[in-house]
Amino acid sequence: MIETLYVIFVSILKTALYFGILLLHVAYATYAERKVIGHIQLRLGPMVVGPHGILQPIADVVKLIFKEDIIPSNVDKRVFAIAPIISLTAALSTFAVIPVDKNFVISDMSVGLLYVLGIAGVGTYGIIFGGWASNSKYAFLGGLRSAAQMISYEVALAMSLVGVVLMAESFNLSEIVNKQNELWYGMFLFPQILGYFVFIVAALAETNRLPFDLPEAETELVAGYFVEYSGIRFSFYYLAEYLAMFSMSALAAICFWGGWTAPPVLIKIFPILSLIPGIVWFLLKVYFHIFLFFWLRGTLPRYRYDQLMAIGWKVLIPLALFNIVITSLIKYYQ
Amino acid sequence: MNPENERELLINMGPQHPATHGVLRLVLEVEGEIVKRCTPYIGYLHRGLEKLAEDLTYVQSLPLTDRLDYLSSMVNNVGFCLCVEKLLGINVPERAKFIRTMLSEMARICSHLVWIATHALDIGAMTVFLYAMRDREKLLELFEMVTGARLTVSYPRIGGVRCDVSNEFLKKLERFIDEFPKRVEEYETLIDRNRVWLKRTKGVGVISAEEAINWGLTGPTLRGSGVYYDVRKFFPYDAYDKVEFDVPVGKNGDIYDRYKCRMLEFRQSVRIIKQCIERLPEGPILADNAPKIRMPASPLKIDKEDVQFEIYVDDKSVEDFIKKFTDIYASVEAPRGELGFYIVCDDSAKPYRMRVRAPSFVHTGALPRLCEGGLIADVIANIGSIDIVLGECDR
């Protein structure tokens, strides 16, 4: 009995710590994005609130919370209210299985990877519901676009990870990282370079980032599925988008970059590197991918809807399948 | 107006929409993502400039033309002045001609910079927007140096220009045009060598040469279809017959060719400005028989009953000249196409009727032809590629 209570207590503590830090990260990811894109575009980004605008995310949160919660007339009120919550919950739940350090994971599930992909799919419902319930044509089109986009890219995303699963012989994310550490270079990035490429492109589409930000294509659909949302409900969608970015980056770091471990060859050459805690390696890898997302946003134009579908079905999925075949053959003959 | 079958959705795009360049309103009938019908509605920026001009003297009408195409107000001013000069038979001094040409090309670069900025932003490349605005800022500062205004310059006068350019300005301008081609290359590395950009623009919004002529398209929009027509070459005005420049012509008539034409025009404008600076002759900047503007000694000394517009302008010279009904047309190559002024005059110092042939108006008419059958995203790309300014379209 005492032991059960202890486990529950530790889990709650872990969860609180994990999500506290996570949400702080998300808040400052918005700041980082504005700064990075600002400097790419010859501007300074936020500079007013606090030194170098460091308190800007806090001001934003306060503003969003105190804004009037507008529910337009003729919307489907129940669905309208629940849609952003579905998106946010799905985005947050992903992190339950993502290990940030050795033995630091909330739930060490044996099918962690499947869980992440499944939960990410649930998030799509939030977007479709939001678009449908808003009773706005722009939101409706945005919702439809995102439904089609997410379904087609989820296939590519899942397939790109099959190669990793084959190599690691496990769906457990911690196990995948441990398997990578057995290699001398400590990451699946090199044998799975094709899978990594497909994964990154599909992840961009999955998180609605440029060049695949069609569901919210600003210049076409004004804001897409959340055009009617305001205040705290809007911020739920916003949070969900950034959380999805973090979960995709974390997945990339875990499945392809060796998670919290440093490449063994590096540690052999510079033994001092083994003193660096795993979380630092992990965060560095995640930040790299987050930066990649920002960087692409500052550089690329947007694809058209039909081109996006063509890339998904005609390029990414065949590539992922090819990758699976090659990996399987090598695995079989080893 | 109602969609005939239930598969179609009616979307109202604009007048407040981030990508319709001002206040254009498009009613789209879409089936899924495909645009079945596109109907532009204009008039949201109508200020009755043509009607206003009927109540103002020729000299007073000049600042109105600033407000037509506010991105290249210099060219509008020149167009209006050319028309009135033709009417009054005024010969513009050489130096004024060169200054006008130089500043017109500066306005063309300015306007094309705004075009590349917004066009790229519409297609999703946000960074180009700020890069182009950075360079436009420098040009606006140069405009401010000469004319005192950044956007609505009202710099030319009927019969010349308002004030002379300084050597300091010429030096600064020379420095700008020396480094500007490098900037254009910078935009091209960002978008022209980008697969996404090419996919979005090549083979989209195609209009053949014959159709383009029939629709009355002019400027880069026409030249993108492979028609060699440029007012500057065919009906030279100001100093355009004294400088060397090429007219870039496209081939396929798609968005990419129109884009390419404008990008090449950047370089030609730089070439023209360079020659203007080199060959700028000395001399007067205003013709002797130009209509005079009489300013009161001090605005404070004006009597109450004298506060009328007429007091500022000495129009005796104009009135003496115009004794008969006549009509006159003059056009310039504005950044968007052929901008024409058609004036019917009676025996007063005011036009009986002024009509502006605005390229944006004509191009908006061709918009359904370009958009129908394409996707929603192509509508945005097409609006960007024909480069309309609603101030000019609605007048």
Domains of chain B and CATH, by start: 9-41 (no CATH), 91-291+363-393 (1.10.645.10)
* Average of per-residue pLDDT values in chain B: 82
Segment 33-92 of chain A within 8 Å of chain B by CB: 37, 40-43
In chain B, % of residues over pLDDT 90: 1
Q: Is B377 within 8 Å of A217 when comparing Cβ atoms?
A: yes
Residue A141 placed within a domain:
yes
The secondary structure of residue B291, as a DSSP letter, is P
CA distance B385 to chain A (A): 14
* Count of residues in chain B: 395
The secondary structure of residue B235, as a DSSP letter, is S
**Residue B235 φ/ψ region, left for φ over 0, alpha for ψ in the -120 to 50 degree band, beta for the rest:** beta
Q: Is A18 helix (H, G, I), strand (E, B) or coil?
A: helix
Q: Is B377 within 8 Å of A302 when comparing Cβ atoms?
A: yes
Low-confidence ranges of chain A (pLDDT < 50): none
Residue A40 placed within a domain:
no
Is residue B27's pLDDT more than 60? yes
Instruction: Give A298's contacts (C-beta < 8 A, 6+ positions apart).
Output: A36, A37, A40, A41, B126, B127
Cα angle: B365, vertex B371, B372; to 5 degrees: 105
> What b/e string do you get for A240-266 counting C-beta neighbours within 10 Å, with b at 16 or more?
bbbbbbbbbbbbbbbbbbbbbbbbbee
Query: How far apart, in Å, are the Cα atoms of B294 and each of B59, B157, B162, B291, B301?
Result: 11, 13, 13, 10, 14
What is the bridge-based pairing of β-strands B25-31 and B9-13?
Answer: antiparallel
Query: Distance between CA atoms of A144 and A123, rounded to whole angstroms?
Result: 14
Provide the pLDDT for residue B306: 43
Q: Is B126 within 8 Å of A303 when comparing Cβ atoms?
A: no
| Chain B touched by A229 (CB under 8 Å) | no
Rounded to 5 degrees, φ, ψ at B37 are -145, 145
Residue A151 placed within a domain:
yes
Query: Distance between CA atoms of A156 and B155, rounded to whole angstroms?
Result: 60
Q: Across residues B113-119, what is the average pLDDT?
A: 89
Structure tokens at A20: 């506290």
Provide the pLDDT for residue B318: 56
Mutual orientation of helices A77-93 and A231-256 as an angle, nearest 10°?
Answer: 30
Rounded to 5 degrees, φ, ψ at A131 are -65, -40
Nearest CB among B18, B191, B194 relative to A219 is that of B18
Is residue B329's pLDDT more than 60? yes
> Which of A184 and B325 is assigned the larger pLDDT?
A184
| Chain B touched by A213 (CB under 8 Å) | yes
Lowest mean pLDDT among A149-153, B147-151, B292-296, B344-348: B292-296
| Chain B touched by A115 (CB under 8 Å) | no
pLDDT tens across B51-73, in order? 888 887 777 788 888 888 888 88
Residues A186/A264, Cβ–Cβ less than 8 Å: yes
CA distance B122 to chain A (A): 5
Residue A231 placed within a domain:
yes
Give, rounded to a whole angstrom, the gap between the first and last alpha carbons of chain B. Answer: 27
| CA A166 centroid distance within chain | 22
> What b/e string do you get for B310-328 counting C-beta neighbours within 10 Å, with b at 16 or more?
eebbbbeebeebbeeeeeb
Q: What is the CB neighbour count within 10 angstroms for residue B124?
A: 27
Residue A160 placed within a domain:
yes
pLDDT band at B325 (very low <50, low <70, confident <90, very high): low
Full-model pTM: 0.82
Asked casually if ipTM beats, i.e. exceeds, 0.85, the reply is: no
- Cis, peptide link before residue B335, omega less than 30° from 0: no
What is the bridge-based pairing of β-strands B34-41 and B25-31?
Answer: antiparallel
B-chain CB neighbours of A221 within 8 Å are 376
Instruction: Give B71's contacts (C-beta < 8 A, 6+ positions apart).
Output: B107, B110, B111, B114, B335, B389
- For residue B32, the chain A residue with the least C-alpha distance is A141
> What b/e string do you get for B263-285 counting C-beta neighbours within 10 Å, with b at 16 or more?
bbbbbbbbbbbbbbbeebeeeeb
| Chain A touched by B121 (CB under 8 Å) | yes
Provide the pLDDT for residue A235: 86
* One-character DSSP codes across A173-193: HHHHHHHHHHSSS--TTTTTH
Q: Is B75 helix (H, G, I), strand (E, B) or coil?
A: helix
pLDDT tens across B334-369, in order? 888 888 888 888 767 778 888 888 888 888 888 888
Cα Rg of chain A (Å, integer): 21
Structure tokens at B173: 């301008």
Q: Which residue shows structure tokens 């115009």?
A: B322
Q: Which residue shows structure tokens 């005024």?
A: B90
CA distance B255 to chain A (A): 14
Is residue B323's pLDDT more than 70? no
A-chain CB neighbours of B199 within 8 Å are 303-304, 307
Provide the pLDDT for residue B224: 86
Provide the pLDDT for residue B245: 87
- Cis, peptide link before residue A215, omega less than 30° from 0: no
Rounded to the nearest 10 degrees, how much is the dihedral formed by the CA atoms of B113, B116, B117, B119? 150
Is residue B125's pLDDT more than 70? yes
Q: What is the CB neighbour count within 10 angstroms for residue B70?
A: 17
Residues A180/A188, Cβ–Cβ less than 8 Å: yes
Query: Distance between CA atoms of A100 and A14, rounded to whole angstroms?
Result: 12
Q: Which of B309, B343, B307, B298 is nearest to B325 (CA)?
A: B343
Q: Is B124 within 8 Å of A213 when comparing Cβ atoms?
A: yes
Helix, strand, coil percent values for chain A (each to nearest 5): 75, 0, 25
- List the beta strands (DSSP E) in chain B: 9-13, 25-31, 34-41, 156-157, 160-161, 326-334, 337-345, 351-357
Query: Distance between CA atoms of A88 and A120, rounded to whole angstroms?
Result: 11
Residue A253 placed within a domain:
yes
Rounded to 5 degrees, φ, ψ at A137 are -70, -35
| Chain B touched by A211 (CB under 8 Å) | yes
Query: Distance between CA atoms of B43 and B360, rounded to whole angstroms?
Result: 12
Nearest CB among B17, B125, B196 relative to A222 is that of B17
| CA A72 centroid distance within chain | 30
Q: Which of A206, A196, A200, A130 is nearest to A167 (CA)?
A: A196
Q: Which of B311, B289, B309 is nearest to B157 (CA)?
A: B289
- For residue B18, the chain A residue with the least C-alpha distance is A219
Provide the pLDDT for residue B70: 84
The secondary structure of residue A216, as a DSSP letter, is G
Query: Distance between CA atoms of A282 and B325, rounded to whole angstroms?
Result: 83
Structure tokens at B302: 């004006």
Q: Is A41 within 8 Å of B380 when comparing Cβ atoms?
A: no
Residues A40/B130, Cβ–Cβ less than 8 Å: no
| Chain A touched by B373 (CB under 8 Å) | no
Lowest mean pLDDT among B115-119, B157-161, B175-179, B339-343: B157-161
Give the number of domains in chain A.
1
Residues B143/B137, Cβ–Cβ less than 8 Å: no
Nearest CB among B18, B129, B196 relative to A300 is that of B196
| Chain B touched by A137 (CB under 8 Å) | yes
Instruction: Give B37's contacts (C-beta < 8 A, 6+ positions apart).
Output: B28, B29, B368, B372
Residue A136 placed within a domain:
yes
Query: Distance between CA atoms of A208 and A146, rounded to whole angstroms?
Result: 8
B-chain CB neighbours of A211 within 8 Å are 124, 196
Query: How far apart, in Å, are the Cα atoms of B213 and each of A95, B159, B224, B359, B381?
Result: 60, 33, 12, 13, 21
Query: Distance between CA atoms of A201 and A303, rounded to whole angstroms?
Result: 12
pLDDT band at B320 (very low <50, low <70, confident <90, very high): low
- For residue B190, the chain A residue with the least C-alpha distance is A299
Domain that holds residue A216: 67-333
| Chain B touched by A264 (CB under 8 Å) | no
pLDDT tens across B254-287, in order? 888 888 888 888 889 998 998 888 888 888 888 7
Query: Distance between CA atoms of B246 and B258, rounded to whole angstroms?
Result: 16
Nearest CB among A218, A299, A305 relative to B127 is that of A299
Query: Distance between CA atoms of A29 and B262, rounded to whole angstroms?
Result: 38
Q: Is B125 within 8 Å of A300 when comparing Cβ atoms?
A: yes
Provide the pLDDT for residue B300: 55
Q: Is B121 within 8 Å of A219 when comparing Cβ atoms?
A: yes
Longest dimension (CA), chain B: 71
Nearest CB among A137, A300, A305 relative to B377 is that of A305
Q: Is B11 within 8 Å of A137 when comparing Cβ atoms?
A: yes
Query: Distance between CA atoms of A294 and A22, rounded to whole angstroms?
Result: 18
Query: How far apart, in Å, are the Cα atoms of A170 and each of A69, A165, A258?
Result: 45, 6, 14
Rounded to 5 degrees, φ, ψ at B38 are -135, 125
CA distance A35 to chain B (A): 13
B-chain CB neighbours of A217 within 8 Å are 124, 377
Residues B221/B363, Cβ–Cβ less than 8 Å: yes
B-chain CB neighbours of A138 within 8 Å are 11
pLDDT tens across B61-109, in order? 888 888 888 888 889 999 998 888 888 778 888 888 898 898 899 999 9
Provide the pLDDT for residue B311: 39
Residue A4 placed within a domain:
no
Cα angle: A129, vertex A132, A135; to 5 degrees: 135
A-chain CB neighbours of B131 within 8 Å are 41-42
| Mutation for testing the B interface, residue in A34, A208, A300 having most B CBs under 10 Å | A300
Query: Distance between CA atoms of A33 and B144, rounded to whole angstroms?
Result: 35
Is residue B295's pLDDT more than 60? no
